[in-house]
A and B are shown apart, each in its own frame.
Chain A
Amino acid sequence: MQHSAAAQQLTPEGWLPPPPLPHHYDDRVSHANAVRFGMWLFLGTEVLLFAGVFTGYFTFRAYFPEAFDQAARHLSLFLGTLNTFLLLTSSLTVALAHHNAERGKNHNAFWLLVVSVLMGGGFLVIKGIEYHEKFVEHALPGKFFNFAEITAPGGPVFYVVYFFATGLHALHVIVGMSLLTWVAVRAWRKEFSPTYYAPLENAGLYWHLVDLVWIFLYPLLYLV
């Protein structure tokens, strides 16, 4: 289905003609609606996936409240807030990219996507720094835990929840970034037009979901 962009020349408005419509759909709009609806269903599964992690968080918070308090104080608040800022801003840039793609401005969309991917990278770098701190302090989950400063019982359990939640989230950030990169390449090839921007929209929806999860993770882990 991937038509070779170079061979086709641009339409007068400056973007490529959209790819052929699949045979079993009769018009482009109902196909776009179907693709968006499919993406929303997939986001439903992602929400349920993180539901399990949050259930674990609240269960262990009910069991070991004081351990969660002590451990929360050992997380660096500055890095957490910076990460939240980064993700929120990258959500904005992705939304703007989608906004431009709807109007066929592939060039703007490309640069906005590049900025978003860079911010995602920044988020991962900061996450790496935090993880390094913890590995040095031996504040690790399960049997690897011996971190003197947490005296309350259930210390390792907080770090199990912390590493699993942020690890799963970081994995989703990586997947989101690769999606955005692939869509940025297609924007560079000027493939998007007012009638065809579904891939960028879906990558954007996925990125917003990743940001959504972090909006919940940030206060629960760092602030409370």
Chain B
Amino acid sequence: MSQSASTAQVAVAPAGAQLELPKKHYLNDGTTIRSWLLTVDHKRIAIMYLVGTTFGLLLGGIFAMVLRLELLTPGPTIIEALTYNRMFTLHGLVMIFMFMIPAIPGVFGNFFLPIMLGAKDVAFPKWNLTSYYVYLAGAALMLWGLITGGADTGWTFYTPYSTTTTTNIAPVMLGVFVIGFSSILTGLNFIVTIHTLRAPGVTWFKMPLFVWAIYGTSIIQVLATPVIGLTTLLVAAEHTFGFGFFDPARGGDPILFQHLFWFYSHPAVYIMVLPAMGVISEAICAFSRKNIFGYSMIAMSSLGIAFVGFFAWGHHLFTSGQSAFDAGAFAAISMLVGVFTAIKIFNWVGTLYKGAISFTAPFAYICGFLFFLVFGGMTGIALATVSLDVHWQDTYFVVAHFHFIMVGAVIMGFLTALHYWFPKMFGRKYPENWGLLAAGLIVLGFNATFIPQFLLGNAGMPRRYYEYPERFAALNVASTAGASLLAFGFIIIAIYLAIALFNGEVAGRNPWGSRGYEWDTPSPPPTENFDHPVDHTRIPHDYTDTEDVATVSHAT
């Protein structure tokens, strides 16, 4: 299984020789606007998703900064209560539905899934393009709703407040419903691609781990999103026509809303974190030049998280009048999900054993990812312990926990992927030292922002508070300082990546010397992905011989 015969024995290109970009590749294969907007090439759709989701990240980031500035002083600071409530709803909705859920599957899943499987494209290319335009339509509808009056109900839009509030939430609800469709289409496309388009030699247990993670994510996307689609329709109908589904004044049951809402929203957090774990499984092998430690364990724990994630939603309802029996059942199952994450962490650290670690910017993000996943995961387990959760529910402890997982794990994963695959997607390298500086800033800024919020949670500051008692002031100031450091880090990344897009050093076929399947094609890859027939005899990330298979260069 581990013999390293490669398809073509060609002398390694001499280091430093002047490499230039391949003549024809997917970026310059038709440069009219029409060829981009009506493309069915999964790589171009990935780039369009990158543009859309980065815009979402920018927007969400701005709202986050406004929230942090407002919380600088206990009393009103820069905006008044209603705008603050709209702002944190905006921050939640834009970040989750426009960035976190579509980002890694939409950008890196679209780009690398077919290449890693050895396929020419995803199963249904036209549906892939439809999914992008449905995403844009949903995002536009949601933003239009948020701007023309906006919802002030928080991204969780708990009834009966959301059904009796005077702000118009109908367009925001329909926006979320439409974005849900895009998520379903992407997930469906990926599952069928994995099942039917694997190249010869890529069997189920020789697939890269990133593909396993995307497989688990897609299962959740397909099976959980319809329930939130229905819930948003019900809330929109109830807000406009006055049905009695969730509003107790008309006989409805608000706890039923919370069950239906969290049945989607808890698996949704695994939609966000699983792809990031997939990226880390790939990148940690590449930068420690070692095969993954326990391939089947990590693959199966991805599926485990996807499957068990569906039964753990009740830990959001511990203090909402849920029965003790349900609280116990949900808490026990949530511990199971914690074990799957622990398996992955131990196996990642195991991968470093006897490796050849090169400390580059992506590797710095991997360390950040590991630290935040351990810290966030353990606070998650503490939150799932029912009696502790009674004190922490709806306080800043919960806010800090999910930001540790979302910003800590998922955005670290996103940045790792962006830096690790930047040469493959655009053919150029980013400046290494700037990368390390930004990584340091981000990790530092992140800790300074969210560790004070853990302590705020312990002290009992509830979330979504516009004004708070004086005793919480000091920690909030610290958190806001950290937030500005974090924002500064993101700005630096945006700048040097934009510059590297056009005049970064040409990367050639495999700048990292990684043995992942996706490095067997030229970078940036041609439209039909490969310039030679694909038959993977080796397993991904097999570094047992010195000769660097992947730097073999044909065309360039």
Q: Which residues does A use to contact B, with CB under 8 Å?
A: 22-25, 30, 33-34, 37-38, 41-42, 44-46, 48-49, 51-53, 55-56, 59-60, 63-64, 141-144, 153-154, 156-157, 160-161, 164
Contacts and interface: CB of A to CB of B under 8 A. Distances in A.
A142 B243 contact: yes
A41 B193 CA distance: 12
Nearest to A47: B226
Among A33, A34, A53, A161: residue with most chain B CB under 10 A: A34
Interface string B194-233: 0111000000000000000000000000111111011100
B282 interface: no
B251 A153 contact: yes
A37 B195 contact: yes
20 contacts: A23-B120, A24-B119, A25-B197, A34-B123, A41-B192, A42-B184, A42-B188, A44-B222, A45-B225, A48-B223, A48-B224, A48-B226, A49-B229, A63-B253, A64-B251, A142-B241, A142-B243, A154-B251, A156-B250, A160-B243
Contacts of A22: 125
Contacts of B169: none
A164 B227 contact: no
A37 B241 CA distance: 38
A50 B242 CA distance: 21
A38 B185 CA distance: 10
B195 A142 contact: no
Interface in B244-295: 244-245, 247, 250-253, 256, 259-260
B256 A141 contact: no
Contacts of B229: 49
Given A30-B196, A34-B124, 11 more contacts: A24-B120, A34-B192, A44-B222, A45-B225, A45-B226, A46-B226, A49-B227, A52-B227, A52-B230, A63-B253, A153-B251
Given A44-B223, A52-B230, A52-B260, A142 B244 contact: yes
A37 B244 contact: no
A56 B245 contact: yes
Among B188, B224, B242, B251: residue with most chain A CB under 10 A: B251
B251 A48 contact: no
A173 B424 CA distance: 47
A154 B125 CA distance: 49
Contact of A37 (B192, B238, B250, B259): B192
Contacts, number: 106
A52 B228 CA distance: 9
B204 to A, nearest CB: 15
The 5 closest A-B CB pairs, nearest first, are: A24-B120, A52-B230, A49-B226, A34-B196, A48-B226
Contact of A141 (B123, B244, B259): B244
A141 B191 CA distance: 40
Contacts of B243: 141-142, 160, 164
Contacts of B473: none
Contacts of A34: 123-124, 192, 195-197
B121 interface: yes
Contacts of B222: 41, 44-45
Among B196, B247, B259, B528: residue with most chain A CB under 10 A: B196
Nearest to A51: B227
Given A34-B192, A37-B192, A38-B123, A53 B238 contact: no
B121 A164 contact: no
A42 B229 CA distance: 14
B58 interface: no
B143 interface: no
A157 B226 contact: no
A25 B195 CA distance: 13
Given A34-B123, A160-B243, A41 B191 contact: yes
B253 A60 contact: yes
Contacts of B247: 142
B191 A56 contact: no
B259 A55 contact: yes
A164 B246 CA distance: 13
Interface in B149-192: 184, 188-189, 191-192
B250 A55 contact: no
Given A24-B121, A56-B256, A49 B192 contact: no
Interface string B509-542: 0000000000000000000100000000000000
Among A30, A33, A154, A160: residue with most chain B CB under 10 A: A160
A49 B230 contact: yes
A33 B184 contact: no
B234 interface: yes
Nearest to B221: A45
Contacts of B238: 142
Contact of A156 (B191, B225, B244, B253): B244
Contacts of A63: 251, 253
Contacts of A41: 188, 191-192, 222
Contacts of A55: 256, 259-260
A211 B70 CA distance: 54
Contact of A157 (B196, B225, B252, B528): B252
A23 B226 CA distance: 32
Nearest to B251: A157
Contacts of A45: 184, 188, 222-223, 225-226
A53 B230 contact: yes
A38 B197 contact: no
Contacts of B242: 142-144
Nearest to B225: A45
Interface string B120-154: 11011100000000000000000000000000000
A198 B247 CA distance: 44
Nearest to B218: A41
Nearest to B196: A34
Contacts of B244: 141-143, 156-157, 160
Contact of A59 (B121, B189, B231, B253): B253
B241 to A, nearest CB: 7
Nearest to A36: B192
A41 B230 CA distance: 18
Nearest to B259: A55
A22 to B, nearest CB: 8
Contact of A164 (B245, B250, B253, B260): B245
Nearest to A34: B196
Contacts of A51: 226-227
A34 B222 CA distance: 16
A41 to B, nearest CB: 5
A30 B198 CA distance: 11
Contacts of A160: 243-245, 250, 252
A157 B192 CA distance: 40
A156 B189 CA distance: 41
Contacts of B223: 44-45, 48
A25 B125 CA distance: 12
A154 to B, nearest CB: 5
A25 B189 CA distance: 14
A44 B188 CA distance: 10
B247 to A, nearest CB: 8
